[in-house]
């Protein structure tokens, strides 16, 4: 109801702002109600109407935005094909479109924090009984205690190996949910809980103990009708892949148009300052470990490169005076926006490394190749955190890889936009960029 009202009120407000009369006095009322109803149906189909008690506010807002984009896409297509747009105010539609997303977001954020506050005060609290032993039990208890606003409260812990003790614990604390913290390969506890509580209506959840594993994009997938726990998978599939593609094409095109005069000036300066081409091309590894050809402004004197490419170091004699400036400011990377439009790179992602460096570090850092589960980027989480330039120790490279894996694990459009924004202030220069 809040979503429907927010969408409809946004349309009414936009109409009043445009024509200074209530929309109830105009035939556009029907258009407004039909579009609001369509938005509501799309929200239902994108799984927005479910419990968000766990605190995934950004995920919820993202699904709302997806339904909003689809809704207005359908509306605009209908207006063009039916030629109905001639009778409707484009200013009203535009103002309504922007306001509708803002109104729905504000309504959901308000309700989200209201429910979080109430749950933190004990209203609508869910009592949880933890069953199991080991580190995962300690971790879960600590996280639940630190997230009181989610409304969950641990009211007891039992090993679950004894049916008698389990029955006594359930009878004593009367939980709403039972969470089974299961050790890898041990199914006895889960089997005992399911058997003991077979006549109970309590919610039962299984938490595999994966604390010792490095997970990438962990979640649950249903493949050939079988639920599977994702231990390491790429987030770039389905709707995420489409969203990332649109982000790269739209933002990449806009940036390339804005910087095109700068590209011409730098290319001319490189060409005039030393012999050789303005653009340097190099093979590197991209998505899924496939070779790609990336573009950079040439920053070194022309020389014969060996099969083992050495990293640039401080005072490297191979680097031209102009190249030293370009490298220290990352301006030599700007031609890679062409790679973005070609589709073999993204604006945001792990930086692509030389193939010989990949061959070296994949042997030294066990999780190194996880960074290739997404397209390489012009900038990334590692770069805005100062992890750029020369990596003269394995520890420096390992820190960069951890930042890359963090990015993949927490990827979202909003995270990309944050990194792009931070790059303006923190990503162009660095002490280790030679």
Q: Supply the CATH number for residue 197's domain.
A: 3.40.50.2300
Helix (H/G/I), strand (E/B), else coil: 57: helix
Kindly give the pairing relationship between strand 226-230 and strand 219-223: antiparallel
Weakest mean pLDDT among 60-64, 122-126, 244-248: 122-126
Query: For the purposes of burial, counting CB atoms within 10 Å of the CB of 288, is it exposed (0-12), middle (13-18) or buried (19 or more)?
Result: exposed
Tally of structural domains, the chain: 3
Rounded Cα gap, residues 403 and 388, in angstroms = 11
Rounded Cα gap, residues 323 and 311, in angstroms = 14
Q: Residue 102: its pLDDT value, please? A: 92
| Mean pLDDT (whole number) for 70-92 | 75
| Mean pLDDT (whole number) for 193-218 | 76
Q: Residue 91: its pLDDT value, please? A: 84
- Of 97, 120, 143, the position where a domain reaches its end is 120
Instruction: Name which of 252, 434, 429 is nearest 335 in CA terms.
Output: 252
DSSP string, 159-199: --S-HHHHHHHHHHH--SEEEEEEPTT--HHHHHHHHHTTT
Rounded Cα gap, residues 88 and 76, in angstroms = 11
- Of 84, 101, 120, the position where a domain reaches its end is 120
Residue 292 placed within a domain: yes
Rounded Cα gap, residues 163 and 70, in angstroms = 51
| 352 shares a domain with 406 | yes
Kindly give the pairing relationship between strand 219-223 and strand 203-208: unpaired
> Residue 39 above 80 pLDDT?
no
| 154 shares a domain with 116 | no
Helix (H/G/I), strand (E/B), else coil: 319: strand
pLDDT > 70: what percent of the chain?
81
| 144 shares a domain with 26 | no
Of the pLDDT bands very low, low, confident and very high (cuts 50, 70, 90), residue 196 is confident
Q: What is the pTM of this model?
A: 0.59
Rounded Cα gap, residues 240 and 410, in angstroms = 12
| 31 shares a domain with 171 | no
| 408 shares a domain with 317 | yes
Residue-number span of the structural domain to which 389 is assigned: 239-427
Q: Are 298 and 270 in contact (CB under 8 A)?
A: yes
| 101 shares a domain with 18 | yes
Rounded Cα gap, residues 179 and 136, in angstroms = 11
Rounded Cα gap, residues 277 and 270, in angstroms = 8
Of the pLDDT bands very low, low, confident and very high (cuts 50, 70, 90), residue 381 is very high
Phi and psi, residue 311, nearest 5°? -70, 150
Q: Which residue has the higher pLDDT, 300 or 38?
A: 300
Rounded Cα gap, residues 333 and 295, in angstroms = 7
Q: Are 42 and 71 in contact (CB under 8 A)?
A: yes
| 376 shares a domain with 354 | yes
* Average predicted confidence (pLDDT) for the chain: 81
Q: Residue 377: its pLDDT value, please? A: 93
Structure tokens given for 132: 């199991």
Residue 234 placed within a domain: no
- Of 120, 147, 177, the position where a domain reaches its end is 120
Residue 369 placed within a domain: yes
Query: In the 8-state DSSP scheme, what is residue 365?
Result: -
Rounded Cα gap, residues 245 and 343, in angstroms = 8
Residue 226 placed within a domain: no
Residue 330 placed within a domain: yes
| 330 shares a domain with 255 | yes
Residue 222 placed within a domain: no
- 285 forms beta bridges with 291
Q: Are 112 and 121 in contact (CB under 8 A)?
A: no
Residue 229 placed within a domain: no
Contact residues for 189 (Cβ-Cβ < 8 A; gap 6+): 131, 132, 159, 160, 161, 180, 182, 183
| 376 shares a domain with 414 | yes
Residue 394 placed within a domain: yes
Residue 354 region by backbone torsions, left for phi larger than 0, else alpha for psi between -120 and 50, else beta: beta
| 341 shares a domain with 414 | yes
| 151 shares a domain with 104 | no
Of the pLDDT bands very low, low, confident and very high (cuts 50, 70, 90), residue 18 is confident
| Mean pLDDT (whole number) for 232-261 | 86
Reported in sequence order, the residue ranges of 62-151 that DSSP labels E, i.e. its strands, are 126-132
| 332 shares a domain with 266 | yes
Query: For the purposes of burial, counting CB atoms within 10 Å of the CB of 11, is it exposed (0-12), middle (13-18) or buried (19 or more)?
Result: buried
Q: Residue 434: its pLDDT value, please? A: 46
Weakest mean pLDDT among 57-66, 266-275, 310-319, 417-426: 310-319
| Cα atoms found within 13 Å of the Cα of residue 313, Cβ hemisphere only | 6
> Residue 427 above 70 pLDDT?
no
């Amino acid at each position: 109801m809040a979503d429907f009202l927010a969408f409809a009120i946004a349309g009414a407000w936009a109409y009043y702002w445009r024509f200074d009369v209530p929309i109830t006095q105009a035939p556009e009322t029907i258009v407004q109600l039909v579009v609001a109803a369509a938005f509501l149906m799309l929200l239902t189909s994108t799984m927005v109407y479910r419990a968000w008690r766990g605190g995934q506010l950004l995920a919820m807002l993202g699904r709302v935005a997806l339904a909003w984009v689809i809704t207005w896409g359908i509306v605009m297509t209908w207006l063009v094909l039916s030629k109905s747009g001639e009778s409707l105010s484009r200013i009203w539609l535009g103002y309504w479109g922007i306001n509708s997303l803002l109104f729905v977001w504000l309504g959901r954020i308000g309700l989200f924090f209201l429910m979080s506050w109430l749950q933190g005060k004990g209203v609508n609290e869910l009592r949880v009984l933890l069953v199991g032993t080991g580190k995962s039990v300690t971790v879960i208890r600590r996280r639940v205690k630190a997230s009181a606003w989610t409304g969950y409260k641990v009211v007891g812990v039992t090993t679950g190996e004894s049916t008698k003790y389990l029955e006594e614990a359930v009878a004593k604390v009367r939980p709403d949910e039972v969470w089974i913290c299961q050790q890898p390969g041990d199914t006895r506890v889960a089997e005992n809980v399911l058997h003991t509580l077979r006549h109970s209506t309590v919610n039962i959840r299984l938490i595999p103990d994966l604390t010792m594993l490095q997970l990438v994009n962990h979640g649950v997938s249903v493949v050939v009708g079988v639920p599977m726990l994702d231990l390491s998978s790429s987030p770039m599939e389905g709707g995420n892949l489409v969203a990332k593609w649109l982000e790269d094409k739209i933002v990449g095109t806009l940036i390339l148009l804005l910087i095109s005069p700068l590209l011409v000036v730098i290319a001319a300066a490189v060409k005039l300052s030393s012999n050789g081409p303005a653009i340097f091309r190099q093979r590197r590894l991209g998505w899924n470990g496939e070779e790609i050809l990336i573009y950079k402004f040439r920053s070194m004197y022309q020389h014969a490169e060996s099969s083992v490419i050495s990293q640039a170091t401080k005072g490297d004699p191979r680097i031209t005076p102009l190249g030293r400036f370009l490298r220290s400011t990352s301006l030599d990377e700007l031609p890679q926006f062409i790679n973005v439009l070609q589709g073999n790179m993204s604006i945001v992602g792990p930086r692509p490394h030389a193939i010989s460096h990949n061959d070296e570090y994949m042997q030294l850092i066990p999780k190194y190749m996880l960074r290739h589960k997404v397209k390489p980027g012009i900038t990334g989480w590692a770069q805005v955190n100062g992890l750029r330039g020369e990596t003269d120790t394995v520890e420096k490279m390992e820190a960069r890889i951890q930042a890359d894996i963090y990015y993949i694990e927490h990827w979202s459009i909003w995270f990309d936009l944050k990194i792009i924004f931070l790059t303006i202030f923190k990503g162009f220069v660095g002490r280790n960029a030679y």
